[in-house]
């Protein structure tokens, strides 16, 4: 039977509708596939442009890290700043901590514990975004637990010569902290793995470290820690709190030529362990043109001299101290003086974010002790390359500022972000150990 013209038009319209239906169906399938594969496609915006954008998967981790802070009595923290405080057995609850004392000298460089505690008390925040961590009062909702024991200040305050009778006060504080933690069900249920404990001074918590070896430790380096206690896998390297003032108005039109000295170092040259390289370097470098290699101590006058020297030098030498690191590196960074790092075992803060090669130079101990090698290499650095490293230092130096109120991506916020990176591995370890019925076969 022959089709009429109307029947042919109807069949054509039907085919057209079927093709359109198939096209839209395939398009929808493609969008769903992309959404599942990439996790960032906002489907509602594709079909409803005026709708409020859908929550992207990537924002699910944008909330601050939830931190429960133990209410330790003041004798464990700010009571060491105000030793005449009559309420030493009462926790500090005010949002405003006593200011860090200006006359604290080298104690300041290990005051990371103070600034981390301050960040959790609340009451002030100048950050352009939410802080990286926020205190929660319900421990059941916490991601991690912060132990506000100023172990570095305890060492420096209570017999830091290790022979004074007051050293026993430091030992007792450590024992009391361990007792409080051992009685906490949150410590018990995780074996302390999700607890954050500042231990920045190399001698901090030195009597009873084994009792906290499962926790996330905030350290300066690993120079005095056995591998069984501390490692990059679970712990966090924090910068020293710089002692010199930050160079906030470093805006010379020709920064290379505005710094007449080639290389600057000022500090103690008689050191232990890896720091013995200092006495060898002084024999190699002292007396060369453009090099200032001086013996000095961290007095107020010494700090002023170091500030001036770093700001007028292109490169600042950072040899190991008694341990692989020292405050000098971070003084150089905030002075925008390109660090020259000579320390074979050094570990650096935020190295998952920062590539230190962009603004620092590294030499092995063997290289640095070759006569003339170090100075020859520094003299090969072109003005253009040095200026770029100087520019990079200016861009990243805010990551090394400890302050309150907090500011975006300052040192404390960066440290809490580093803590957050440890949480998945902590949860994995907690969940596995809770369900294992026999010895962990990975360790057999």
User: 3-state secondary structure string, 282-330?
Assistant: HHHHCCCCCEEEEECCCCHHHHHHHHHHHHCEEEEEEECCCCCCCCHHH
Report the chain's mean pLDDT, rounded to a whole number: 86
- Plot region of 195 (φ>0 → left; ψ -120 to 50 → alpha; else → beta): beta
pLDDT band at 32 (very low <50, low <70, confident <90, very high): low
More confidently predicted of 163 and 134: 134
Between CA 92 and CA 100 the distance in angstroms is: 15
Question: Of the segments 224-228, 231-235, 439-443, which one has the largest average pLDDT value?
Answer: 231-235
Read off the pLDDT band of 2 (50, 70, 90). Answer: very low
Higher model confidence: residue 300 or residue 344? 344
Residue 41: pLDDT band with limits 50, 70, 90:
very low
In percent, how much of the chain has pLDDT > 70?
Answer: 82
Could you tell me the sign of the dihedral formed by the alpha carbons of 18, 20, 26, 31, in that order? Answer: negative
Q: How many helices (H) and strands (E) does the chain have?
A: 13, 11
122-136, 249-263, 333-347: least confident range = 122-136
pLDDT score of 108 more than 70: yes
Section 345-365 average pLDDT: 97
For residues 405 and 119, is the Cβ–Cβ distance under 8 A? no
pLDDT for 20: 59
| Per-residue pLDDT, 338 | 98
Q: pTM for the full model?
A: 0.83
Across-strand partners of 236? 218
> For residue 420, what are its two tokens?
């957050």
| Residue 148 CA to its chain's centroid (Å) | 17
- Supply 193's token pair: 């793995």
Q: Mean pLDDT, to the nearest integer, of 365-377?
A: 95
Smallest Cα–Cα separation from 223: which of 214, 211, 215, 235?
235
**pLDDT at 430 exceeding the cut of 80:** yes
Cross-strand pairs, 66: 134
Report which of residues 262 and 166 the model is more confident about: 262
Q: What pLDDT score does 30 carry?
A: 60
State the pLDDT at residue 437.
80
Q: How far apart are CA 383 and CA 314, in angstroms?
A: 10
Kindly list the distances between the CA atom of residue 159 and the CA atoms of 109, 323, 327, in Å, as whole numbers in the listed order. 18, 20, 22
Cα 276 to Cα 192, 269, 270, 295: the distances in Å are: 37, 8, 7, 14
Maximum Cα interatomic distance, the chain, rounded to a whole number of Å: 115
Q: pLDDT at residue 272 above 80? A: no
């Amino acid at each position: 039977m022959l089709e009429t013209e109307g029947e042919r038009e109807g069949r054509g319209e039907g085919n057209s509708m079927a093709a359109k239906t198939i096209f839209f169906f395939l398009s929808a399938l493609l969008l769903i596939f992309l959404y599942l594969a990439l996790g960032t496609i906002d489907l509602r915006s594709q079909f409803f442009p005026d709708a409020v954008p859908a929550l992207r998967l990537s924002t699910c981790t944008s909330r601050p890290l939830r931190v429960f802070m133990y209410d330790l009595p003041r004798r464990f923290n700010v009571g060491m700043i105000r030793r005449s405080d009559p309420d030493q057995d009462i926790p500090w609850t005010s949002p405003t901590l006593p200011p860090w004392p200006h006359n604290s000298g080298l104690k300041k460089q290990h005051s990371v514990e103070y600034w981390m505690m301050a960040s959790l008390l609340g009451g002030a925040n100048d950050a352009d975004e939410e802080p990286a961590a926020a205190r929660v009062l319900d421990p059941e909702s916490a991601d991690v637990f912060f132990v506000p024991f100023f172990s570095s200040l305890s060492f420096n305050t209570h017999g830091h010569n290790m022979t004074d009778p007051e050293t026993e006060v430091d030992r007792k504080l450590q024992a009391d902290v361990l007792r409080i933690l051992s009685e906490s069900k949150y410590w018990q249920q995780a074996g302390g793995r999700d607890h954050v404990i500042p231990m920045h001074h190399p001698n901090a918590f030195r009597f009873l470290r084994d009792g906290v070896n499962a926790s996330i430790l905030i350290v300066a380096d690993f120079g005095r820690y056995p591998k069984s206690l501390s490692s990059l896998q679970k712990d966090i390297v924090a910068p020293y709190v710089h002692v010199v003032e930050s160079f906030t108005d470093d805006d010379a039109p020709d920064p290379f030529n505005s710094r007449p000295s080639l290389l600057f170092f000022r500090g103690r040259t008689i050191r232990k362990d890896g720091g013995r390289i200092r006495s060898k370097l002084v024999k190699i470098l002292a007396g060369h043109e453009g090099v200032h290699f001086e013996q000095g101590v961290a007095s107020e006058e010494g700090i002023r001299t170091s500030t001036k020297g770093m700001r007028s030098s292109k490169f600042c030498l950072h040899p190991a101290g008694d341990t692989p690191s020292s405050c000098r590196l971070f003084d150089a960074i905030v002075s925008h003086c390109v660090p020259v790092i000579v320390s074979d075992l050094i570990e650096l803060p935020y190295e998952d974010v920062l590539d230190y090669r962009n603004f620092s130079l590294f030499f092995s101990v063997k290289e640095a002790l070759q006569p003339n090698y170090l100075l020859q290499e520094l003299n090969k650095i072109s003005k253009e390359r040095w200026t770029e490293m100087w520019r990079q230092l200016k861009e990243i130096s805010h990551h090394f500022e400890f302050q309150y109120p907090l500011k975006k991506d300052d040192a404390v916020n960066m440290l809490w972000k580093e803590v957050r990176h440890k949480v998945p591995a902590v949860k994995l370890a907690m969940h596995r150990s809770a369900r294992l019925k026999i010895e962990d076969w990975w360790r057999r």
